[in-house]
């Protein structure tokens, strides 16, 4: 579709937004949201007709891009036949979505509890673990994001939890592995894995193993920096959980549904959790949907005794119809394979090449369509290009990087001192090359701050 400029319409949309929309995570007077006129595939455009290549996949959810015609048609068909229905009934779109998801989740994660998104999936996974074990505490990583609702934000490690920490009950944070900024003075992946596992074991010993209901980890931590865990770490956590009777929850809200070049990131490591949360890519974010995939043992806990939790829109037919269509599109069009092959064959090597040429890039890491560039002032000291959680003037280098990328037609994902390269999983080779050229230009601006 060719964008038609219509600046007056854009101005009206913007004016109403500024008058009445209260935006997430923002100082309301300091933001300037772009008015978006349309989107298709890997692109969106504004009311001036300027097109952007979306290397953010929205908030890392449009795994099959915008407006996929088969998913749009499935939503229209579902709307025409059964737009909504209460959760206590068996409904075709819901049961088919659950079947397709269960078929793809690892191990015996065969029962699906549907939610409206990722945070409520995390809330319910934690509640299931507490009820299953009868224990109060949850352990989670400092470098993590698990959602914006009360328990999910408490479990989250990033600074957005600070304001809610006073309400945190039974949440204990620990350090998960991240070799580039190792908390364990490790120099090799083997050391990082061994020391991170020893640290987790010690944390559990001091907390009291009989008090820990669950350990929750993002399989590949996303928002906090796309840190693919080193070999052996997740298998080690699995073993620790088994030994202490702790429920192992993997949060695949961002990493799931093709993002890492596998259906689920757990498949990269051959690890099967007891509970797995998902959202975003399950239907490319076309209609809000998330859920928890539950192993047989925990599902059985609620065989004869009711599970005390639910949502009015659990398994909403429109959202589930979108999930069925999305999963079928991903299977039929080889979307997971595309992410894996273009990630390993094109994007990964091209980002490594950018890193070699740009002094502002301290590290490139990732897999599939899930990459981060860590920007630094100094490669030797690894001092971040902007301080931790920088705002205003302190964040000027990242603001300049962002502006340069946009000027070159690329919409980049920026978080603290990093840019995440997370295009749709069905992105084409030509689109990747176009985005990489814009990234090259924007990194030259970042180089000016080193």
Q: Of 218, 262, 431, 434, which one interacts with ligand PMP (CB under 6 A)?
A: 218
Contact at 8 Å (CB) between 450 and 85? no
Which residue sits closest to ligand PMP, CB atoms considered?
118
Task: Find, among 217, 324, 333, 323, the residue nearest to 280 by Cα.
Answer: 323
Residue 443 in contact with ligand PMP, rule: CB under 6 A: no
Q: Shortest Cβ distance from residue 221 to ligand PMP (Å)?
A: 8
Q: Of 118, 170, 230, 359, which one interacts with ligand PMP (CB under 6 A)?
A: 118
Residue 287 in contact with ligand PMP, rule: CB under 6 A: no
117 or 397, CB closer to ligand PMP?
Answer: 117
Stretch in the footprint of ligand PMP (CB under 6 A) among 94-102, 116-124, 323-331, 399-407: 116-124
Tokens coding 26: 């923002």
Rg (CA), the chain: 22
Q: Of 126, 204, 279, 421, which one interacts with ligand PMP (CB under 6 A)?
A: 279
5 or 310, CB closer to ligand PMP?
Answer: 310
Per CB under 6 A, contacts with ligand PMP among 50-69 are: 59
Q: Of 3, 41, 65, 147, which one interacts with ligand PMP (CB under 6 A)?
A: 147
47 or 178, CB closer to ligand PMP?
Answer: 178
Q: Of 122, 126, 153, 373, which one interacts with ligand PMP (CB under 6 A)?
A: 122
237 or 279, CB closer to ligand PMP?
Answer: 279
Residue 145 in contact with ligand PMP, rule: CB under 6 A: yes
Q: List 215's β-bridge partners, or say none.
A: 139, 248
C-alpha to C-alpha distances, 353 to 178, 184, 358, 359, nearest whole angstrom: 22, 29, 9, 12
Stretch in the footprint of ligand PMP (CB under 6 A) among 42-50, 113-121, 131-139, 441-449: 113-121
43 or 278, CB closer to ligand PMP?
Answer: 278
Stretch in the footprint of ligand PMP (CB under 6 A) among 142-150, 351-359, 383-391, 441-449: 142-150
Q: Shortest Cβ distance from residue 280 to ligand PMP (Å)?
A: 7
Residue 370 in contact with ligand PMP, rule: CB under 6 A: no
Residue 119 in contact with ligand PMP, rule: CB under 6 A: yes
149 or 328, CB closer to ligand PMP?
Answer: 149
Per CB under 6 A, contacts with ligand PMP among 245-264 are: 251, 253-254
Residue 268 in contact with ligand PMP, rule: CB under 6 A: no
Instruction: Specify the pairing of strand 171-174 against strand 137-141.
Output: parallel
Q: Shortest Cβ distance from residue 208 to ligand PMP (Å)?
A: 27
Q: Shortest Cβ distance from residue 254 to ligand PMP (Å)?
A: 4
Residue 223 in contact with ligand PMP, rule: CB under 6 A: yes
Q: Shortest Cβ distance from residue 24 to ligand PMP (Å)?
A: 9
- The contact set with ligand PMP (CB under 6 A) reads 59, 117-119, 122, 145-147, 218, 222-223, 251, 253-254, 279, 290
């Amino acid at each position: 579709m060719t964008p038609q400029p219509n600046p007056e319409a854009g101005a009206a949309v913007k004016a109403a937004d500024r008058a009445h929309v209260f935006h997430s995570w923002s100082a309301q007077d300091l933001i300037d949201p772009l008015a978006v006129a349309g989107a298709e595939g890997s692109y969106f455009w504004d009311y001036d007709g300027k097109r952007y290549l979306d290397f953010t996949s929205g908030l890392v959810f449009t795994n099959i891009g915008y407006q996929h015609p088969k998913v749009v048609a499935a939503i229209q068909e579902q709307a025409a036949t059964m737009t909504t229905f209460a959760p206590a009934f068996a409904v075709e779109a819901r049961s088919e979505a659950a079947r397709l998801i269960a078929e793809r989740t690892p191990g015996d994660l065969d029962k699906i509890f549907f939610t409206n998104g990722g945070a409520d999936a995390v809330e319910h996974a934690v509640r299931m673990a507490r009820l299953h074990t009868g224990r109060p505490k949850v352990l989670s990583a400092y470098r993590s994001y698990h959602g914006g609702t009360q328990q999910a934000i408490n479990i989250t490690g990033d600074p957005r939890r600070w304001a809610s920490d006073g309400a945190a009950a039974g949440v204990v944070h620990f350090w998960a592995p991240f070799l580039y900024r190792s908390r364990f003075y490790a120099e090799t992946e083997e050391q990082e894995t061994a020391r991170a596992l020893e640290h987790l074991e010690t944390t559990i010993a001091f907390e009291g193993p009989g008090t820990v209901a669950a350990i929750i980890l993002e399989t590949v931590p996303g928002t906090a920096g796309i840190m693919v865990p080193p070999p052996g770490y997740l298998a080690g956590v699995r073993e620790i959980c088994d030994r202490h009777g702790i429920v192992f929850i993997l949060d695949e809200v961002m990493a799931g549904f093709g993002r890492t070049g596998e259906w689920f990131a757990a498949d990269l490591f051959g690890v099967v959790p007891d509970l797995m949360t998902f959202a975003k890519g399950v239907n490319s974010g076309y209609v809000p949907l998330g859920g928890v995939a539950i192993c047989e043992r925990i599902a059985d806990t609620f065989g004869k005794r009711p599970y005390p939790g639910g949502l009015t829109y659990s398994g909403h037919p429109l959202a589930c119809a979108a999930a069925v269509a999305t999963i079928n599109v991903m299977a039929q069009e080889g979307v997971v394979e595309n992410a894996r092959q273009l990630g390993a064959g094109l994007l990964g090597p091209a980002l490594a090449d950018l890193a070699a040429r740009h002094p502002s890039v301290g590290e490139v890491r990732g897999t599939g369509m899930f990459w981060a560039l860590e920007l630094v002032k100094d490669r030797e000291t690894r001092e971040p290009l902007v301080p931790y959680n920088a705002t205003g003037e302190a964040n000027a280098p990242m603001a300049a990087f962002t502006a340069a990328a946009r000027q070159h037609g690329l919409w980049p994902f920026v978080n603290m001192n990093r840019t995440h390269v997370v295009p749709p999983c069905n992105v084409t080779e030509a689109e990747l090359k176009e985005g990489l050229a814009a990234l090259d230009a924007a990194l030259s601006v970042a180089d000016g701050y080193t």
